[in-house]
Chains A and B, each alone.
Chain A
Amino acid sequence: MPLVKVPQPTFVQKLKRFFMMDLVRGLGLTLKYNVGAAFDKDSVAGKGIYTEQYPKERPDVAPRFHGAPRLNMDPETHETLCIACNLCALACPEDCIDVLAMDVEVVVAGKPRRKKVLDEFIFDTSRCMFCALCQEACPTSCLELTQDFELATYSRAGFVWNREMLEQGRETVKYTK
């Protein structure tokens, strides 16, 4: 008598085995997937085909996704919203932002005054961890992390974005379906 009890199949299980129900169920499943995919119908859980043809088809990133940085401009005057307050650079845990300001002479109410304006903005995306603390620190909603995720370049230097790149955005090849 065996020391370890091995469960014996019941009659129904034997019957299922005889008619190869597992095989039939497997075949039914693959057929269901196939038909669902061929007509792109709700066969599995929502859609027939899960493939996303990436360069031709843009993926839907999550709403809270943080991607490439951008410096926003005033939509009417097309002047930068940045007031060179340096808060983003202070907020950055990785120290990847450099704000270079310069003083300009302006006349306010008939008197000559000196005003601090933005000269150059350096953003090192290779060190950035996309925490968006800079975006939260910005008092004028100028610096923003967009949903754009194509940040690869051919050199290390290419990861360092200057003011122009931050304002205009980088040019990438757009594919169509």
Chain B
Amino acid sequence: MNACPLFLAPLNFIDSLLVKLGLAPETINYVVWPLIQIGVVVTVVAVWVAYGTYLERKISAFMQARLGPMRVGPWGLLQPIADGLKLLTKEDFIPEKADRWIFFFAPYIAVAAAFIVFSVIPFGPDWAVITDVNIGLLLVISVSSVGVLALILAGWSSNSKYSLLGGLRSSAQMVSYEVSMGLALIGGLMFARTLSLSGIVTGQASDSIWYVLYQPAGFLIFLISGIAENNRAPFDLPEAESELVAGFHTEYSGFRWSLFFMAEYAAMVVVSAIATTLYLGGWYFPFVYKLEAAGLHNAYVIVSALVFLIKLSVVLYLYFWLRWTLPRFRYDQLMDIGWKWLIPAALINIVFTAFSVFVVQALDAGQVLKTIEDTSHGLNLTGAGKIVMIVMGIVGLLLTGGLLSLVNWRSRDFNLKSQRRNIRLVSVPSGVSAVNSTKPATAPNEV
């Protein structure tokens, strides 16, 4: 490590300093370094939350040919700090009829659920991940779903009709979208063959492919469910401003309100990070290995983390992009998308992925085509195998879409369309033919 420049090797310096201070190597490895990592991650996420609001306002402004915040600091760059100060100095108001303790603690649950997940997300190789547990993905799914509890508790404890409606909607929405989100991940896991998030990234790195190519349907389902899970527009029914004032956080103000805000933006990062890790190759980038080979270990980690952040910001931009393009769904449409489209699509995706893995293995076993290289890090395919898998993925996407649109084609006819199509004209004299029929039609509900 002597060859590398000083600014790329600060960590070894800290290590030797800690040893000189008389700390045992175990203490350094299992107490000091994790604390440093946690501090860095929490700081970065908090800064992101602050500047995420700034970015959101800027991007929304740009999409509407406006400028966005411009007055505080150059290009309004100090606006988040001004906002934060404003929120901290505002009155922390608790309604008289509210359930005080639950009202008090609900925002903390939301923030904790969003922040705990960051402990397993691999921002990069080696020291850029706090802990690499082998059930990482499971932990992410389970902990982030606790966030629903916070919204329900907030909506209930506020003792206000708007809050309650918001909490009600959020519970229904998040419960139904969690199913499709979890099911969508399974397709990707069939290739990775591990739940450890770092393992998933190494699986993609050793195969030098992104799983989004194998799993276009799974990626789309995951992304849509993730946006719905985060209560972001166009799925922001729990806080629908135009209907419910502010939904579950109507009665919240000041610091507690900003905690909900923080949880929302942190949860956005979590979902984007999972999408990046599982589908977009995580921190893996084709040529970063050369840095490791050249002996610049820390530079390798830092560049990998940067690659991860760039991929992450692309997914986050998608969040903003969709929010400022699409209007909010109606409630029945939301449930339609969840139950009639995404969950069946995720189930079909699982079956079809299993089928295509089987096809690839059968091709290899039947000596038709050499498709499998080895299975040490997930399922490593040869070039031909990759092409087969990508084609199968696209076919699966189109097949799923076609099948579901066939199934769902007339699924609304029970209520709306039949009523629209059987409009009885008022005051049609008997004997006179109507528009294009000789005998007057009878609406089905009259029979």
Residues of A within 8 A of B (CB): 1-6, 18, 23, 26-27, 29-31, 33-34, 36-38, 43-44, 48-51, 53
Listed A/B pairs (30) with beta-carbon separation below 8 Å = A1-B436, A1-B441, A2-B421, A2-B423, A3-B425, A3-B435, A3-B436, A3-B437, A4-B421, A5-B435, A5-B436, A18-B401, A18-B405, A27-B321, A27-B322, A30-B321, A30-B324, A30-B325, A31-B321, A33-B62, A34-B62, A34-B63, A34-B321, A37-B63, A43-B65, A49-B62, A49-B65, A49-B67, A50-B65, A51-B65
Give chain A residues whose Cβ lies under 8 Å from the Cβ of B65: 33, 36-37, 43-44, 48-51
With contacts A3-B440, A49-B67 known, what are 9 further pairs, Cβ within 8 A?
A: A3-B435, A6-B421, A26-B325, A27-B321, A31-B321, A36-B65, A37-B61, A38-B62, A49-B62
Within 8 A of A (CB), among B303-362: 321-322, 324-326
Contact call A30/B63, Cβ cutoff below 8 A: yes
Q: Is B161 an interface residue (CB 8 A)?
A: no
Nearest-neighbour CB distance to chain B for A24, whole angstroms, equals: 10
Nearest-neighbour CB distance to chain A for B333, whole angstroms, equals: 14
Nearest-neighbour CB distance to chain B for A51, whole angstroms, equals: 4
Nearest A residue to B324, CB-CB: A30
Contact call B423/A26, Cβ cutoff below 8 A: no
Q: Is B422 an interface residue (CB 8 A)?
A: yes
State A31–B70 Cα separation when bound (angstroms). Answer: 21
Contact call B70/A53, Cβ cutoff below 8 A: yes
Number of B residues, CB within 8 Å of A: 29
Q: Is B420 an interface residue (CB 8 A)?
A: yes
Q: Is B434 an interface residue (CB 8 A)?
A: yes
Q: Is B66 an interface residue (CB 8 A)?
A: yes
Q: Is B98 an interface residue (CB 8 A)?
A: no
Give chain A residues whose Cβ lies under 8 Å from the Cβ of B66: 37, 49-51
State A33–B59 Cα separation when bound (angstroms). Answer: 10
Nearest-neighbour CB distance to chain B for A105, whole angstroms, equals: 59
Contact call A37/B325, Cβ cutoff below 8 A: no
Give chain A residues whose Cβ lies under 8 Å from the Cβ of B61: 37, 51
State A72–B423 Cα separation when bound (angstroms). Answer: 74
Give chain A residues whose Cβ lies under 8 Å from the Cβ of B25: none
Contact call A26/B402, Cβ cutoff below 8 A: no
Contact call B326/A26, Cβ cutoff below 8 A: yes
